[in-house]
Amino acid sequence: MIWLTWRQFRAQALIGLAALAALAIFLVILGMRIRGTYDANVTDCGTTCSVTNARDIMEDTYFGTLLLAGLLIVLVPALLGAFWGAPLVAREIETGTYRLVWNQSITRTRWLAVKLTFVTLAGVALAGAFSLLLTWAASPYDKLLTARFEPLIFPTRNIVPLGYAAFAVTAGIVIGLLIRRTIPAMAVTLAVFAALQILVPTFLRPHLQPPVTETVAFTADTTVSEFSTGGPTNKGVSINGYGSAVPGSWMLSGRVPLLDAAGNQATRDTIDGCLKGDFRRDMACVAQQNMHFEVKYQPASRYWTFQWLEFGAYLLLGGLLAGFAFWRVRRGLS
């Protein structure tokens, strides 16, 4: 059965390997260049080294490229699901060959088990190779920018892409089994995968563990990227961009209100006396008014917990789908 699975899967596997080779070359070159930049600005610069400067250079040079590479990494499981998973059973049904193979001296359970295991493991291995390469290539960048928990980076590094691949391939197989036509099954697989890639980071991942709520005193040293005194009608004071002050964390709060000692939102009128036009001096003045604000975030220490949880969740979902496929196939088609 393994022979037949390989014989039918050969062409798709070779295309996958060719894509892997091409992307591997790109990622290795990218990794070398990122290392070059890191060395030049962090290790080999002696007294002129500045972390802030190095961060800026790194982000300016590689943000776009790494974003694109990350996108490719997430696209890989989607393509695996559509091109490896979906046709696996759908094509057999579409062309009627299931009636040939289901009459060999091998049970349908075994037939599906070999096909599903073989192709899913191949998919996980391929996605794993891509993830490993990107994780390696981007590691100096991730170390410097401490942003690996960010929604755009988190799904592209370490083990979660393997979970995506396991899920996508199994989902493709099951969708093919249900829809029974290759092309629609491929389209539905892509749609399901894309939907999960939007829904999970939006609704599930932030709540995998209850976020840490921290009350931060607003001092002269508090770094925020934006300080807003509200519009002409809404005079509430709010701040944004506190995230960089908790390195490596995943900041869930965006704009948060600035609160006075009693817990009410500060208004323009309360701090009006401080606003003279010099940002730093104004902030120092506001800081003396005993203000604070609240932020919610997932701390950096939870990164691996979250990687495992999301990996496990996708794996579990894939496992459930596989179980359904076995139940379905054992009953025979309709």
Partner 1 sequence: MTPVLRSDGLTKRYGRRPALSDATLSIPAGRIVGLVGPNGAGKSTLLSLIAGIIAPTSGTIEVLGSQPAASAAQLAKVGFVAQDTPVYSALSVGDHLRLGARLNPKWDDLLARQRIEQVGLDLAQKAGRLSGGQRAQLALTLAAAKRPQLLIFDEPVASLDPLARRAFLQSLMEFVAELEVSVILSSHLLGDLERVCDYLVVLVGSRVQLAGDVEDLLEEHRRVIAARGELDSLPPGIEVIQADHTARQSTLVVKDTTGLLAQVVPAADVERLDLEDMVLAYLTRAASITAAAPARRHTEQPLEAQR
What residues line the site for partner 1 (CB under 8 A)? 1, 3-4, 7-8, 95-108, 110, 331-334
Closest approach, Cβ 168 to partner 1, in A, equals 24
Residue with Cβ nearer partner 1 (22 or 100): 100
CB 299 within 8 A of CB 249: yes
Residue with Cβ nearer partner 1 (35 or 108): 108
Residue with Cβ nearer partner 1 (95 or 288): 95
Closest approach, Cβ 313 to partner 1, in A, equals 33
CB 220 within 8 A of CB 265: no
Q: Which of 233, 228, 274, 282 is nearest to 255 (CA)?
A: 228
Residue with Cβ nearer partner 1 (101 or 216): 101
Task: Report the half-sphere exposure of 320 (CA within 13 A, side-chain side).
Answer: 6
Closest approach, Cβ 107 to partner 1, in A, equals 6
Closest approach, Cβ 113 to partner 1, in A, equals 13
Closest approach, Cβ 86 to partner 1, in A, equals 17
Q: Which of 53, 75, 331 is nearest to 190 (CA)?
A: 75
Give 245: exposed, middle or buried? Use CB within 10 Å, 0-12, 13-18, 19+. middle
CB 228 within 8 A of CB 237: yes
Residue with Cβ nearer partner 1 (96 or 232): 96
Structure tokens at 126: 């391929």
Closest approach, Cβ 74 to partner 1, in A, equals 31
Residue with Cβ nearer partner 1 (11 or 262): 11
